[in-house]
Structure formats: structure tokens, C-alpha cells
Structure 1
């Protein structure tokens, strides 16, 4: 029997919680630009703790009283019957003077939510939606059928074992917005981490029953930046009752140099590029961030290798491609087991439905653009700026045992969409970060 990756992810989450207590347009499309086209404007410095400190954090705690009940989702359009868990969605202001607010969707645990931990999920990109991908296509409680109107249950939803919070971040992603247009040009890793911390501080004021609850940060792809940097920011603000127990990252973007080398090596080892191409890449290319210009031999080899992006689904080279731009008049029989490459089309149609947005308390400012899975792909609302760092530079000072798990799989995020793809290479790293140093 083929192993179920969603089951593995589900088991992975359950293990993490226990240990701590003791597409056609997928989220990496913006990351492809990051790899090949966007070298200007990127910070080349690592991120010392001082960069992720929030000055006057108390002044950024806004009045969240009586807002929780207003965020409650009574029922989503097309929602299946017999849903026995509470859902909430809405905006949390992170910068009142600039009118910057982040959108969230929260699915409480299906059973005994009061005793279950809280898990934050972040998609990457950068510039891609945790609502559209994480919640609606991967680990959330519902999936969207091919008509773009009807939902069905995800039997591997993470809210079977935890209370799961999905955050669209930074501002400009999905429904998150700023009333100050210049804010979008200032997006980057540092402000993303700071805004996420401010979001959490205010969200806990809105949901005070979760203060002190075991809390985990999880994510995938470019969340390899978002997750540890947010953890770093939290651990340097010990006055807040955010009981961080650990982090989990799937197929993380950690180091651009090794990621780019690994991408081309992956293409070659799977017979997607010729021997001559990989030999030229190894011989002539230097993917260090300090390299300003590659020799012509490298450029030619990379251009040749990049044709793969037009030929196959690089997130699952064994999967079919989507050749449809829309939805079906009537819903096809849904299946978690049988991968549908057009799933992103269905989600986009669903989240652009005014009735859905009203139920989610979303798009309250009537944004002048449609919801999209990856904002950076469309009009540059979220610029591709990052901070260079590696796991070796990630120093989290802790009082007690604390764990971080990093998961790598061969066919990336699409495995979560199709849980029965054979996993040819499955690597699970357990990294235990332990210290007796004060936070």
C-alpha cells in the first residue's frame, strides 16, 4: 500500500506536539523569481537579535475586547453538514497609524479544544497565502470541490489534534492589507517577523483563553525564514505569555546557495536536464550571494535547466499538469487520494466569491485587486526581499528542552495534496536545541 504523506504529516504534527510538551500557481512561484531574477535589494547581513526586537511593544497592543465573537464564522458557503468545531476569521491590526492589518483563519480542534495546543501555520513564497494553500489545499479542515463553490472534509486535517491558526502574511498577501501604499515596498523578513509577533500579541488579547497554551510555529518553503525568525522574535520578548514549545518546517528554504545547487542537482538526478548542463553548472556557477554576475557559460546552463519549469510541475514531477483555467459547472467526485492539478483554480474561485468573503469577514476595505494565492506573482505587492541566514546562525536561548523539526520530501508541497504518491526520498531531521541559558 502506498504511504500517505498527509498521514505522515499528521503523525509528524502529533509527535511534535507530544515532544514539545515534554496548482498551476503554487507557493514557490514567487520563490522561482527569488532564485533566478531578484538579486537587487536583498539584505546580505545575518539577523542579530537586535533586529527582531520590537520597541515599545506595549504601545502596539490595541483594544481587542469584544472582537472575538464578531470574528466567529457561522457557516462557510458550501460547507458540509455536521461540523462540530468553531471557526473564526478576521483582521488583526498590527500598525494602527498606517492602517496595516493581517488576515487570519482559525479552526479550533474538533474535540476538546480547551486541552489541545495551538499551532500557527505559515506558507512561504515569499508572498503566498496560508489561507489559500495551507488551509484550503493542505492541512485545513476543508477542501474545495471543482465547482469552486462546495467544500468537503479533509480527513487528515490538523485540527483533529490541535487548534490551528492560519496567517496571511505579510501585508499585501491574500486579504491582508495596508492603507499606506508605501508599506508594501518595505516588506521583508524583518518586518514580517515583527508584524507576526505584534499579530500574535493582539490575537492572544482577543483569544485570552489561549494565553499560556502550548504553542508551536509551523510552515513550509520560504517559511524556513518566517518560522525561525518569528520564534527568535518571540523568545526575545519574554514578557508576553506566548508559551512557545517548538517549531516545524517542511521543505524549508534556509540557504539560497545550497538550495539553488540542490535544485539543479535534483533536476539532473531525475533525468530532467542533460549531463552536459549539470557539468557546466557545477563548473561555472557560483551561487553565493556575494556573486554579482555569473559567467556566460553559467547563464547558458541555467537557462537550459530553467526550461524544466515550463515542462513539468516542479513541486511534483510525477503529477499531471493543469490545462484548465477555471472551474467545472458541476462538481467532480472529490478525492483526497487522487491528485487534481487544478485545485488552485477552485480555491481562487471560492475565495473571490463575495458570499465567502462575507462569511470570513474578509476584504472589508474592498481591495482593488482580486484574492490570489501568491500576491508577488501579480503586481509586485510583496517584493522579494530576504535576509541571509542559515541554521548555524539560528541561536535560540532557552531555559528548558525545546525542539525544532525539519522535514524534507522529494516532491515538495504537492504531497500534501495527494497523500498517496510514493515517497522515493523521505528524510526527517530531528534537531534538538537545548540550553540552560536564560531567554
Structure 2
């Protein structure tokens, strides 16, 4: 009778998905299609973030650290867009696998961040990847609602993975992650102040090519174009004169600061001049993403025919970013991931499904106050930007950080070069003890994709092992 009772309790425990060692067995991934053998566990599934009231549910993918995961920190990765899938981004940036050239299999990512941390990828906001809501208004996202939902997600994720409550926690991301990451970090710290039980052990944030002050970042593109010889100084000076309603000291935090008509005309004309007569907006956007390399012309039909999709330019396979759009639509992949439980009536897309919407005013928000709040709470911040990124150029981000340092009476350190594997990796700028900015040589808008070895080095030495940063 006693043995039967114990067996019944254990069976119920497993049926509820609690599993062993604090891991939910229901979310365990046995193996992804075409995946090489690995010695770490993977999990994926949904977290209902509102108790079922509106039917909001975020999809996640969790990967153990390669070695000694119980003693490694946890890093949350939030990609930008807004509206791009962080889970999909894992397969072209910091996750353990990269899609093979035929997009039907996976290869090991030699520079995955799970070499030094457990990794948690969250499809956020609602409408990104496989995250969804049964309430249509939830697809109209904004910074505040996204922060609130992500904080709720983390509370409930820790309930599902209780062993990680005590772990050091890092929050990282790229591009519009410049909004998501600091907002979530601040939200978790605010929750700490209100909670008597759960404490989020936030130890630092890492941002790649972050959007911090959108309209100034747009203006910085023209400074960038000048540095690569695409336009002349006279054109840049004309733009700055006509667009002087926006500057470092006059940035609107909550309201859209619309360009004056003359300014917008000048920006449009200059953008057009950067290209030949066969002006193609899609090609233009690709060159903003990476001013150094030829873009991939993504033809997923080729993949459906069993062909390979690849475009190597200056040592980088530019089609790596496109192939997850095919892999994630394979039925066997969705089954292995425990994804798409709502049976979406449309194709999985890495970025911006048709239902997705985002508050334009929030996209113009000034993120310096959010960074300032973190620094005031002694949270270290590491920022790195690729030096061939024309979308959010490093020259603009550096300008923002000088402004932030001035507001906080922080004396900037001198500019230095940093090295990795006996090569110059870029420039390093220190702002006090907590804020560090790096440029990355030949890094584009997504440094973890275009320069993965350097991105891993920076994350390891200046985020996870920050105390060793003086011994690079």
C-alpha cells in the first residue's frame, strides 16, 4: 500500500510535467531534426503569462550551458525588430546551432554563448515567432506592455525552473533590444523591491548595435556614409542644418518628434543618391544592415527543391539569416519544438507577421533614462557595435553614451584598441566602472552573426567575467 502510494505520487508528479532536477519533462526536446549529438539539454514550450485571462502565451527555447550548467549563469536573449523571433534568431547568432545550407539540418555553432552561460530565448512581444494571444488587441504592442508581460514571463519561468532562481542573471539582445533589454532589467529590479520572496539576481546587461534614440540614430547614418566615402561633408552639414530640431540636448522622450518637410526631403534625396538608377529599396536596406558585404537574395523555393541556399561574402555566409524561415516551417521541426500549438494559419516568419503591430511613439523613445537607472543601481552595461553597420551606426551610439556620461557626471576614459586572437578587434571606450562600449571590426548590424568569435569574447570577458576585464 505504501509502495503503491509512493508510485502514485511520482506518477502524478511526472504527469504534471515537473520532471526531475527541477526541469519540466513535458518541455524537454529529445532531438531537433538534423541536429548533431550534444551533451546538453534543450527545452521549449509556452508560458501562459496572464493566468489564462486573455490567453497570452509566450514561446521560449532554453539551452543548458555546455559545461557544468548547474554552476553557470542564465542569460536571457531578446532580439529586436520589434517583432522578430528571438528563438529563430538563436539559429543565426548566439544559440548552439546554425541551420545547414539546405535548411533541413543543423550544424554546431562554435561560438555559441552557451559555452559560458545557460541561454533562454523568448519570442516577444506578442505576435513574434510562436507567441500569441487570444485577445486581438494584444497584438498592438508597446514598450510598457512588453516589459510587463516579460516580467510576468520570468516569474512564471522561474516557477517552472526553480533551480535558476539563485543564478546570476544577464539580459542581452540586439537592435531594438536596446529598448527590450534595459526595460526588462529595470522591470525585474522594480519587482525585487516589491517582492518578499523571489529576487531576480540581475548582474548585468549586454547590447549589440542597440537602438537608443531612433531619430538621432537615423541622422548618424549620414555621418557613417561620410566616413565610408559615400557622401561628402557638405551634404552631411546640410542635413544637420535642416534637421536641427533634433539634437542630443533636445530629444523627445514620449512624443514623436516629426521631421520638418525640408529635412525629410533632404534625407530622402541623399538616400536616393547613395544608389544607382536601378534603386532597389530592399537592396538598400540590406546595405544598411551591412555596408561591407553583398546581401543574400533569399529564394526559399530553392530550399523546397532540395537545393542549398548560401552566399559567402567577405568570409560570412549572408544566407544564414534567411534559412530559419524554411527550417521553422518544417512540420517535424515544429513538433520537436512543441511549437505552433495554435496551428497558425500563416507561415512562420523570423520577423513581423501580418498581425503584429507596435506603438510608433515608443520606437522614438529616449532610452538613456533606462540605462541611467540601471547604472544608478550598479548594474554593469556592455555595448558593442559593428563598424560596418549603417542601420544603427556606432558613431551615433557613442555620441549617446557621451551624453549619458555627461548627465551622470561620469568622466569618460581614453579611447583604446582591444585585441582578440592577436588581431585588433576594434575600439574600446570606458565610462566609469560600469559602462563599456566596443566597436567591432567588420561587424555589421548583428555582430553575433557577422563576427561571432569576437561577440563571444566580449560577452565572456566583459559581461560574464567582468571582474577579469582588466586582464584581457
Q: TM-score, normalised by structure 2?
A: 0.70
Distance 1:304 1:424, change over 3 A: farther
Contact 2:60 2:121 in 1 (8 A): yes
Aligned to 2:469: none
Contact 1:87 1:105 in 2 (8 A): yes
Aligned to 2:294: 320
Aligned to 2:33: 77
Q: Does 1:107 align with 2:75?
A: no
Contact 1:280 1:298 in 2 (8 A): no
2:231 to 257, 268, 273: 273
Aligned to 1:352: 329
1:403 to 373, 380, 391: 380
1:127 to 80, 83, 90: 83
Q: Does 1:209 align with 2:163?
A: yes
Structure-1 separation of matches of 2:114 and 2:381: 20
Distance 1:303 1:64, change over 3 A: farther
Task: Pick which of 321-330 and 117-126 moved more.
Answer: 321-330
Task: Pick which of 391-400 and 402-411 moved more.
Answer: 391-400
Whichever structure has more helix as a proportion of its residues is 2
Residues 8-27 of structure 1 aligned to structure 2 (within 5 Å): none
Q: SS of the residue aligned with 1:195?
A: helix
1:256 to 210, 214, 221: 214
Alignment RMSD (CA, Å):
3.1
Structure-2 separation of matches of 1:413 and 1:136: 23
Structure-2 separation of matches of 1:229 and 1:243: 16
Contact 1:280 1:297 in 2 (8 A): no
Aligned to 1:10: none
Aligned to 2:184: 230
Contact 1:267 1:273 in 2 (8 A): yes
Distance 1:92 1:64, change over 3 A: farther
Distance 1:331 1:428, change over 3 A: farther
Query: Quick one: higher RCO (CA 8 Å, sep 6+), 1 or 2?
Result: 1
Structure-2 separation of matches of 1:424 and 1:109: 26
Q: Deviations over 1:8-32 (max 9, x none)?
A: xxxxxxxxxxxxxxxxxxxxxxxxx
Aligned to 1:164: 119
Q: Does 1:198 align with 2:152?
A: yes
Structure-2 separation of matches of 1:223 and 1:284: 30
Residues 167-182 of structure 1 aligned to structure 2 (within 5 Å): 167-182=122-137
Structure-2 separation of matches of 1:331 and 1:173: 27
Aligned to 1:48: none
Q: Does 1:153 align with 2:108?
A: yes
Q: SS of the residue aligned with 1:197?
A: helix
Q: How far has the Cα of 1:279 moved from its partner?
A: 2.9
Distance 1:430 1:371, change over 3 A: farther
Contact 2:56 2:133 in 1 (8 A): yes
Q: Does 1:297 align with 2:274?
A: no
1:247 to 198, 205, 214: 205
What 5-or-longer segments of structure 2 have no aligned partner? 1-15, 275-280, 392-419, 436-472
Q: How far has the Cα of 1:410 moved from its partner?
A: 1.2
Name the count of aligned residue pairs: 363
Structure-1 separation of matches of 2:94 and 2:82: 19
Distance 1:425 1:267, change over 3 A: farther
Contact 2:310 2:320 in 1 (8 A): no
Q: Deviations over 1:33-59 (max 9, x none)?
A: xxxxxxxxxxxxxxxxxxxxxxxxxxx
Q: Does 1:89 align with 2:44?
A: yes
Q: Does 1:338 align with 2:315?
A: yes
What 5-or-longer segments of structure 1 have no aligned partner? 1-62, 435-439
